Amino acid sequence: MVTLMYTMFDGLVLANLFMALVSVAFFCLIFRKAGYSWALGLLMLVPLVNIVMFVLLALGRWPIEDRLDKARGTLMALGHPLEEISPVEQAKQTVPQPGKVPLRERIRSAFRRAETRRKNI
């Protein structure tokens, strides 16, 4: 009976250890994607510090946001429009290169030629 109890307890300890390691690995990935050092994910193992780090991650300004703002500022300085344009509007604004006919026009003209050939037969 005692041996069975220790075996069950060991299984629970191993399961908890595995879950802690997996969650720390995920926090390391999250911190890295947010622009922080991945090593901050290791602080999630420290009691009370993990709560502070979680709040920092949830409510703080991420370094990746600063880099994104800097990139947007550079693009705006170069005159690039940053507003979102729907694919339909993008297609309307696309200017064909000199000497090249857009695919849409080539398809339309092919249908027109086929229609006139069919009428002439």
**pLDDT(77) > 90:** no
Query: What is the rounded CA–CA span in Å between residue 81 and residue 79?
Result: 6
**pLDDT(2) > 90:** no
Query: What is the rounded CA–CA span in Å between residue 57 and residue 99?
Result: 53
Are the C-beta atoms of 41 and 49 separated by less than 8 Å? no
**Boundaries of every domain in the chain:** 1-83, 84-121
pLDDT digits (tens, 9 = 90+) for 16-59: 889 999 999 999 999 999 889 999 999 999 999 999 998 988 99
Mean pLDDT across 104-115: 82
Q: Which residue type, as a one-letter code, is found at position 112?
A: R
Supply the pLDDT for residue 39: 93
Six token digits for residue 10: 């060991």
Mean pLDDT across 79-88: 66
* Residue scoring higher pLDDT (109 or 53): 53
